[in-house]
Amino acid sequence: MTLVEKLPMHPAGKEELLSKFKKRLGAGGTVKNGVLEIQGDRRDFVKAELESAGYKVRLIG
């Protein structure tokens, strides 16, 4: 499970971003309490995507 926490984005934006990730990865996922949950170890993909969108990313674990 890959979690994306503390993303400064409107809840609707998080749903849209998750939908984009799910389509590109062919994986499932959901948004729970403002945290994006994506099935599988997708850290490298998520990190690259968020950094290209201008977000500062810190990997934990």
For residue 26, give the CATH number of its domain. 3.30.780.10
Quick check: is 19 in a domain?
yes
The size of the chain, in residues, is: 61
Quick check: is 60 in a domain?
no
pLDDT classification of 25: cutoffs 50, 70, 90: very high
Could you tell me if 55 and 7 are in contact, meaning their C-beta atoms sit under 8 angstroms apart?
yes
CA 26 from centroid of its chain's CA atoms: 14
pLDDT classification of 61: cutoffs 50, 70, 90: confident
pLDDT of residue 7: 95
Range of the domain at 39: 2-52
Quick check: is 59 in a domain?
no
For the chain, how many structural domains are there in total?
A: 1
